[in-house]
């Protein structure tokens, strides 16, 4: 029995169904210099829910945010930019409504036939969204009979379209919401030790709480990516021109102290791949972590560090991964991420490791390494995955619990 009402509990035929999805997908230039969606994982994950509602004869009204426009209409953050990609992924026609509330939305919904799919414009173009404003939520609800929440990856935000709507309309969990929850509970609810956590990505500041909590729960914390530089700098190393949050040195030291007390091993880079510019195939050198030149930038973990990480992962039974180890988007600075991903995938395939990864960049990195399918589970969630790992209640999930 699911703790939510799900699509199993409702007949949506002929109903106007507002479906909150996460279409906050990464964009980048393709080889012709055109800005395109660079990873469609989040789109693929919501197709089951969309198909199921549409096949039943429900009118699928998709609601989503895109970027952080902070209540303003920002053309670069219009969902119009991604609707054609979404239609391709879903393999069904999708129309677009230029506002998620008001006469525009009403007209777009009125024009729908049973089974049709409509995507409404970015909810965050309205200030009421992030404030979980009651009137904004009511304006969204005005065009619908039922609410389906399928954006687990946005469920850490108590916004009108993730929480407010569920208090106004009859609310159900979509298939992605359901499966993300189930997979995380079964993979990580009671993990087998040793547990390794690999946390990378650019900033420590966005993951401070996570790191503090993780050292209490895991046996080894592997720190990579830009955030490792903050730790290196805190330990007194010159990190040159590398990405680094110098003002967080104190916090970094506190995390290291806490890990000692908790008996959690910490892995930081011993050697680094350093270049003078952040560009594909830039000239690079490998230096010890304490010998980074003052005009150099750390762009990846070095070979000794990779070896050390691989050893830890080989000893572990569970791996939780969020954030790449280096600037994996550009070669050759993807090496640590790719090598470690391959080992984790191989250990998983051999039945020796439960591997769970989450986060937009992480999913893109594992796709890039070609091993995403070999992980035990890949969550489409970034922030929500981290907050779930921290043991926090996710408001967008809590509001759905029966």
Catalytic status, residue 360: yes
- The continuous run of DSSP H or E covering 357 comes out as strand 354-358
- Minimal distance, residue 106 CB to ligand 3PG, in Å: 26
The residue among 86 and 256 lying less far from ligand 3PG, judged by its C-beta, is 86
Nearer to ligand 3PG, 120 or 298 (CB): 120
DSSP codes of every residue in 124-182:
GGSHHHHTT-HHHHHHHHTT-SEEEE--GGGTTS--IIIIIHHHHS-EEE-HHHHHHHH
| Contact flag: residue 382 with Mg ion (CB under 5 A) | yes
Burial (CB count <10 Å: 0-12, 13-18, 19+), residue 401: exposed
The CA distance from 267 to 281, in Å, is 27
- Among the options 15, 42, 59, 175, which is catalytic? 42
Pick from 41, 29, 37, 5: which is nearest to 380 by CA?
41
Cβ-based nearer residue to ligand 3PG, 82 or 234: 82
The smaller minimum CB distance to ligand 3PG, of residues 177 and 309, is found at 177
| Neighbour order of strands in the sheet with 271-275 | 284-288, 271-275, 297-301
Q: What secondary structure does DSSP assign to 31-50, as a single string?
A: TTS-EEES--HHHHHHHHHH
Token pair listed for 340: 């470690």
Q: Is 382 in the site for ligand 3PG (CB under 6 A)?
A: yes
Alpha-carbon gap, residue 375 to 388, rounded angstroms: 19
In the complex, minimum distance from the CB of residue 320 to ligand 3PG, in angstroms, rounded to a whole number: 17
Instruction: Reply yes or no on whether 383 is catalytic.
Output: yes
Among 128, 164, 383, 396, binds Mg ion (CB under 5 A): 383
Count of residues touching ligand 3PG (by CB under 6 A): 9
CA angle 294, 299, 30 (to 5 degrees): 135
Of 12, 19, 24, 255, the one binding ligand 3PG by CB under 6 A: 24
Q: Which residue is nearest to ligand 3PG (CB)?
A: 24
Task: Let me know if 250 is a catalytic residue.
Answer: no
Please select the residue that binds ligand 3PG; options are 12, 22, 119, 132, rule is CB under 6 A: 22
CA–CA separation, 140 and 104 (whole Å): 12
For position 157 contacting ligand 3PG by CB under 6 A, the verdict is yes
Q: Does residue 45 interact with ligand 3PG by CB under 6 A?
A: no
Inter-residue contact 276 to 282 (CB < 8 Å): yes
Minimal distance, residue 309 CB to ligand 3PG, in Å = 25
Residue 383 is a binding residue for ligand 3PG (CB under 6 A): yes
Q: Quick one: 204 or 267, whose CB is closer to ligand 3PG?
A: 204
Residue 389's alpha-carbon distances to 9, 20, 108, 210, in angstroms, are 29, 23, 39, 8
Q: Which is nearer to ligand 3PG, 162 or 318 (CB)?
A: 162
What does 311 interact with, of ligand 3PG, Mg ion, none (CB < 5 to 8 A by kind)?
none
Mark 191-230 with x for binding to Mg ion (rule: CB under 5 A) and - for no binding: ----------------------------------------
Would residue 226 show up in a list of annotated catalytic residues for this protein? no
Q: Are 280 and 330 in contact (CB under 8 A)?
A: yes
Binding residue for ligand 3PG (CB under 6 A) from 11, 13, 30, 68?
68
CA distance 321 to 309: 12
φ/ψ of residue 387, rounded to 5: -65, -35
Binder of ligand 3PG out of 201, 296, 326, 360 (CB under 6 A): 360
Query: In this chain, which stretch among 171-179, 216-224, 298-306, 382-390 interacts with Mg ion, using CB under 5 A?
Result: 382-390
Count CB-CB contacts under 10 A for residue 260: 11
Tell me how far apart the alpha carbons of residues 337 and 305 are, in angstroms, rounded to a whole number: 11
Binding flag, residue 395, ligand 3PG (CB under 6 A): no
Active-site residue set: 42, 203, 360, 383
Q: Which residues bind ligand 3PG (CB under 6 A)?
A: 22, 24, 68, 153-154, 157, 360, 382-383
Residues that bind Mg ion (CB under 5 A): 382-383
């Amino acid at each position: 029995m699911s703790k939510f009402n799900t699509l199993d509990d409702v007949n949506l035929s002929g109903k106007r169904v507002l479906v909150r999805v996460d279409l906050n997908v990464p964009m980048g230039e393709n080889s012709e210099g055109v800005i395109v969606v660079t990873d469609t994982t989040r789109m693929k994950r919501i197709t089951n829910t969309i198909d199921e509602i549409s096949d039943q004869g429900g009118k699928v009204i998709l609601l989503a945010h895109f970027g952080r426009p902070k209540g303003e209409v920002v053309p670069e953050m219009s969902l119009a930019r991604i609707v054609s990609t979404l239609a391709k992924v879903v393999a069904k026609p999708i129309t677009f409504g230029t506002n998620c509330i008001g006469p525009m939305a009403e007209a777009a919904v009125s024009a729908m036939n049973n089974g049709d799919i409509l995507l409404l414009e970015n909810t965050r173009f309205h200030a009421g969204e992030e404030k979980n404003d009651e009137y904004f939520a009511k304006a969204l609800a005005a065009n619908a009979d039922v609410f389906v929440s399928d954006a687990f990856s946005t469920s850490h935000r108590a916004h009108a379209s993730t929480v407010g709507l569920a208090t106004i309309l009859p609310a159900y969990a979509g298939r992605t919401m359901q499966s993300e929850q189930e997979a995380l509970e079964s993979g990580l609810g009671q993990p087998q030790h040793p547990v390794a956590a690999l946390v990378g990505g650019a900033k420590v500041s966005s993951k401070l709480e996570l790191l503090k909590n993780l050292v209490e729960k895991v046996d080894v914390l592997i720190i990579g990516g830009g955030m490792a530089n903050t730790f290196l700098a805190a330990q007194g190393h010159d990190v040159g021109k590398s990405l680094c949050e110098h003002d967080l040195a104190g916090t970094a030291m506190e995390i290291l102290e806490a890990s000692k007390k908790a008996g959690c091993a910490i892995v930081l880079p011993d050697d680094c791949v350093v270049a003078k510019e952040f560009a594909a195939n830039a000239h690079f050198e490998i230096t010890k972590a304490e010998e980074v030149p003052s005009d150099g930038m750390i762009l990846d973990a070095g070979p000794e560090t990779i070896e050390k990480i691989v050893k830890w992962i080989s000893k572990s039974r569970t791996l939780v991964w969020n954030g790449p180890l280096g600037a994996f988007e550009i070669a050759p600075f993807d090496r640590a991420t790719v090598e470690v991903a391959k080992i984790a995938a191989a250990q998983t395939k051999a039945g020796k490791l439960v591997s769970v990864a989450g986060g937009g960049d992480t999913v893109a990195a594992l796709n890039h390494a070609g091993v995403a399918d070999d992980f035990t589970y890949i969550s489409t969630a970034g922030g929500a995955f981290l907050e779930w790992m921290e043991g926090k209640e996710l408001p967008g999930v809590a509001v759905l619990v029966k």
